[in-house]
């Protein structure tokens, strides 16, 4: 590798620098042969390598590669080690297919279950998404292949995705939409980060200096290059100034000329261009340290895809019918049984090395069992009563009905959002009709995001969420159904009862060029907790063929400093008769805070495997950020001294143990009081309370004398209100101090504004 990048840059012409910052093709960087700068090849991902034979084409059929489960299934494994193993396999395929950087993973939040690209994203929770993204990146990059963490940031819908402005406040941005990216950047150091198409608060993601430079590069210390999503750049010079290093796709001579002209005219500082060139060269040379070529183990990777799919499937309902055993006749119904629905449409669409068809996989595992098949529903949105009738006849004569229901591509894909949470009318009618004649029925779902089930779920015996389960998913489903694998997946997103219950419902998908994130911090389970709304299935939920008990919960310290964090420990016992895996989740609840906080937030988890009767002690560490929140006025993450509840659960709605510990904040925060600060804010600030204390008492005394109050502020009024029918101090504590003093101007020796200005000088002075 050439280590003296500055020497290379000093020898490059302005035209070569500008060209390097734009792609040479749909999938490669621009080489500079005279200086030994090679090309770098990238490929779509993230759950498989979509390597097209010709880098100048975007539409050719890609070379065969393993199609692993999509992110919604991966997230439901809650298994960081398994994702790292998958990352290793992806890197091996990149090396074999001559790919230097795989474009993925996606770490955007699932703001609404309607998001058309949700199958490519991990979770509604930033902590879980960040842990999983970091693990997958570490797995890929450990083999010398780069990644591209995407789509940075606030890319949560397909409606007007190239132009819509996501209007989101800074605190929500920091606490919900950036932490997964932050965690992945800091823990895994991705080679590249991909900007989003959309605007964020009116500025395109490709030109977002606040996000790309101030936060990503300066605050988080990102050392790689920032690449555009394909076609996301509108103004190449503005994008360079914002922090966008590499524009894709190419070639785009007009963009190159624009950069050259901007430097020559003084509009663009060449030093800024050089910084982007340096970042690109660093990654290009780093990529070439890994020799490319050879082959990958197709069979081993197919089996790994099968293992991951089985681990990610979530058993949503089971009245005892599963696992299937000793049944003479199983009626298999549903188009997806003979035609596996295992991936989504769009840029992540993989040409699989092989596909495990669910019906054939059932046949391979069903010893002494008769299997019959009916298609059940068409691939389009037509209604076919004859297909339903055929399925009903088949199910009526069987011992068990097994329905494979796949959400069709016309309802769910990259490029457009869903309009509802429903299956097709045909699929719903099919489930209900079969259930009437065969209550011993299992519904297997293949989809990338939640679906509504209230119309039929009470009528069926079992529901298995199979997700878009990758090319080996058909075999994994059979493994779970017949009990060869004990299901252990848990939901990484809430399944609501109905669309109107969802957090973004009133603000989706926006209009007039803007979408307002009016729900703020409260997405996913945070919202359902706050509203006390029932859900179909809660975040973190999933059944097993065994059962688990929690006990002996302990915390490493009852009193702790924020910088030290603490450790939560709990014993988990397999109380059933078969081996299984449990996912232990730790949520944090702040008993009292200056700003509103969610009822609880996931801050740790662990997956543990247990034999029947076995007990293991599980320890989960919680760091500073587990207790902190972002304060927009301080412009930093802060902690506050006080009590925190540590909630240990099997899901967000199934808390098994509750502990309490007292945090001591070590932060020395600057005073942020100003001319508009309220009396309450002054008294909440240590320096403000010290300076204002005596005056506050005078204000209270004078106020109650003026308005005839008989009660002290804060005491029960017992019906003895002021002459104007209210407790005036209840109102005045939330008025600016200067406004309160204005009402008492006659008793002051100077104007209210001068008095408050003097108080502010005291609190902001050293040692105040």
Partners of 584 in the beta sheet?
606
Q: How many whole angstroms separate alpha carbon 233 and alpha carbon 206?
A: 6
Of 92, 193, 73, 78, give the one whose Cα is nearest residue 132: 78
Nearest CA to 475 among 270, 283, 327, 302? 302
The strand pairing partners of 555, in sequence order, are: 568
- Residue whose tokens read 């700068």: 37
Answer yes or no: are the C-beta atoms of 161 and 169 closer than 8 Å: no
Residue 511 DSSP class: B
Taking the C-alpha atoms of residue 446 and residue 409, their distance in angstroms, rounded to an integer, is 11
Place of tokens 């508009």: 676
HEC profile for 8-61?
HHHHCCHHHHHHHCECCCCCECCCEHHHCECCCEEEECCCCCECCCCCCCCCCC
Does 367 participate in catalysis according to the annotation?
no
Q: How far apart are CA 208 and CA 213, in angstroms?
A: 8
Determine the 3-state secondary structure of 253 from DSSP. Answer: helix
Catalytic residue among 44, 229, 590, 727: 229
The single-letter DSSP state of residue 174 is I
Residue 548, phi then psi, degrees to nearest 5: -135, 140
Any idea which residue has 């524009």 for tokens? Answer: 247
**Cα dihedral 694→700→703→704 (10° resolution):** -140
Report residue 568 as tokens: 């939560």
Name residue, tokens 């200086």: 35
Paired tokens of 319: 């009245």
Residue of 560, 524, 582 whose CA lies nearest to 659: 560
Chain centroid, CA 717 distance in Å = 48
**3-state SS string for 269-302:** CHHHHHHHHHHHHHHHHHHCCCCCCCCCCHHHHH
Spatial contact of 46 and 348, defined as CB atoms under 8 Å apart: yes
DSSP-assigned beta bridge partners for residue 106: 121, 150
* 659-670 b/e (C-beta count within 10 Å ≥ 16 → b): bebebebeeeee
Q: Which tokens sit at 393?
A: 């006849």
Rounded Cα–Cα distance for residues 502 and 493 (Å):
12
Residues 6+ apart with CB under 8 A from 668: none
CA distance 156 to 384: 35
Spatial separation of the C-alpha atoms in residues 712 and 719, rounded to whole Å: 13
Ranges of H-type helices in 112-162? 126-141
E strands in 86-218:
101-103, 146-152, 165-167, 192-195, 199-200, 203-204
**C-alpha triplet 642, 529, 522: angle, nearest 5°:** 85
Element (H, E) at 728: helix 728-732
Q: What is the rounded CA–CA span in Å between residue 412 and residue 68?
A: 18
Element (H, E) at 567: strand 566-574
**Cis status of the peptide bond prior to 28, with omega within 30 of 0:** no
Q: DSSP state, 173?
A: I
> What residues does 643 pair with on adjacent strands?
662
β-pairing verdict for 615-622 and 642-651: unpaired
Query: Quick check: helix, strand or coil at residue 372?
Result: strand
Task: Tell me the catalytic residues.
Answer: 229
């Amino acid at each position: 590798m050439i280590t003296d990048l500055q020497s290379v840059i000093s020898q490059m012409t302005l035209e070569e620098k500008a060209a390097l910052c734009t792609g040479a093709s749909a999938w490669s960087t621009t080489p500079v042969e005279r200086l030994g700068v090679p090309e770098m090849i990238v490929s779509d991902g993230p759950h498989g390598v979509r390597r097209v034979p010709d880098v100048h084409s975007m539409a050719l059929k890609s070379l065969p590669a393993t199609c692993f489960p999509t992110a919604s299934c991966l997230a439901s494994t809650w298994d960081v080690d398994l994702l790292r193993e998958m990352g290793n396999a992806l890197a091996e395929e990149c090396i074999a297919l001559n790919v230097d950087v795989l474009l993925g993973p996606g770490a955007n939040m699932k703001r609404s279950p309607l998001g058309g690209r949700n199958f490519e994203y991990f979770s509604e929770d930033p902590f879980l998404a960040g842990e999983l993204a970091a693990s997958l990146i570490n797995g890929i990059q450990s083999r010398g292949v780069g990644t591209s963490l995407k789509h940075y940031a606030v890319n949560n819908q397909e409606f007007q995705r190239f132009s819509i402005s996501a209007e989101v406040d800074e605190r929500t941005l920091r606490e919900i939409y950036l932490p997964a990216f932050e965690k992945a950047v800091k823990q895994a150091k991705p080679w590249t980060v991909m900007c989003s198409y959309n605007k964020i608060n009116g500025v395109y993601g490709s030109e977002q200096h606040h996000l790309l430079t101030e936060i990503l590069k300066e605050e988080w210390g990102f050392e790689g290059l920032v690449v555009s999503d394909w076609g996301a750049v509108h103004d190449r010079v503005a994008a360079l100034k914002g922090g966008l290093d590499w524009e894709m796709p190419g070639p785009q001579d007009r963009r190159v000329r624009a950069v050259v002209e901007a430097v020559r005219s003084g509009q663009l500082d060449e030093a800024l261009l050089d910084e982007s060139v340096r970042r690109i060269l660093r990654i290009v040379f780093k990529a070439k340290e890994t020799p490319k070529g050879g082959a990958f183990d197709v069979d081993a990777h197919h089996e790994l895809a099968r293992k991951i799919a089985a681990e990610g499937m979530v058993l949503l309902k089971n009245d005892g019918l599963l696992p299937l055993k000793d049944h003479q006749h199983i009626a298999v119904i549903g188009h997806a049984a003979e035609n596996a629905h295992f991936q989504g449409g769009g840029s992540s669409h993989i040409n699989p090395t092989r596909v495990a068809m669910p019906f054939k996989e059932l046949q391979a595992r069903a010893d002494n069992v008769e299997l019959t098949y009916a298609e059940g529903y068409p691939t389009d949105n037509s209604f076919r009563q004859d297909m339903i009738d055929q399925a009903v006849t088949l199910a009526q004569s069987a011992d068990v009905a097994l329905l494979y229901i796949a959400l069709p591509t016309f309802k769910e894909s990259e490029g457009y959002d869903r309009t509802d949470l429903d299956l097709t009318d045909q699929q719903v009618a099919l489930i209900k009709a079969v259930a009437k004649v065969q209550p011993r029925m299992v519904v297997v779902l293949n989809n990338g995001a939640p679906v509504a089930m209230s119309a039929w779920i009470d009528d069926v015996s079992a529901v298995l969420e199979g997700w878009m389960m990758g090319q080996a998913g058909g075999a994994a489903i059979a493994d779970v159904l017949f009990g060869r694998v004990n299901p252990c997946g848990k939901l990484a997103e809430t399944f609501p009862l109905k669309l109107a219950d969802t957090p973004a419902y009133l603000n989706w998908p926006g209009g007039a060029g803007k979408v307002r994130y009016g729900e703020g911090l409260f997405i996913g389970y945070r919202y359902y907790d706050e509203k006390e709304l029932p859900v179909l299935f809660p975040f973190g939920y999933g059944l097993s063929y065994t059962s688990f008990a929690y006990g002996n919960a302990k915390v490493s310290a009852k009193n702790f400093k924020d910088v030290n964090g603490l450790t939560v420990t709990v014993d988990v016992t397999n109380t059933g008769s078969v081996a299984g895996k449990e996912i232990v989740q730790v949520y944090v609840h702040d008993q009292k805070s200056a700003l509103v906080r969610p009822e609880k937030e996931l801050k740790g988890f662990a997956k543990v495997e247990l034999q029947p009767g076995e007990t293991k002690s599980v320890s989960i560490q919680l760091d500073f950020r587990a207790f902190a929140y972002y304060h927009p006025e301080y412009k930093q993450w802060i902690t506050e001294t006080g009590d925190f509840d540590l909630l240990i659960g099997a899901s967000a709605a199934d808390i098994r143990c509750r502990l309490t510990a007292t945090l001591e904040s070590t932060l020395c925060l600057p005073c942020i009081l100003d001319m508009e600060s309220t009396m309450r804010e002054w008294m909440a600030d240590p320096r403000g309370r010290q300076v204002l204390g005596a005056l506050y008492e005078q204000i209270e005394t004078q106020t109650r004398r003026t308005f005839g109050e008989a009660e002290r502020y804060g005491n029960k009024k017992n019906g003895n209100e002021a002459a104007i029918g209210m407790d005036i101090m209840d109102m005045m504590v939330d008025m600016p101090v200067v406004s309160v003093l204005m009402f008492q101007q006659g008793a002051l020796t100077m104007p209210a504004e001068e008095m408050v200005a003097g108080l502010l000088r005291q609190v902001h002075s050293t040692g105040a």
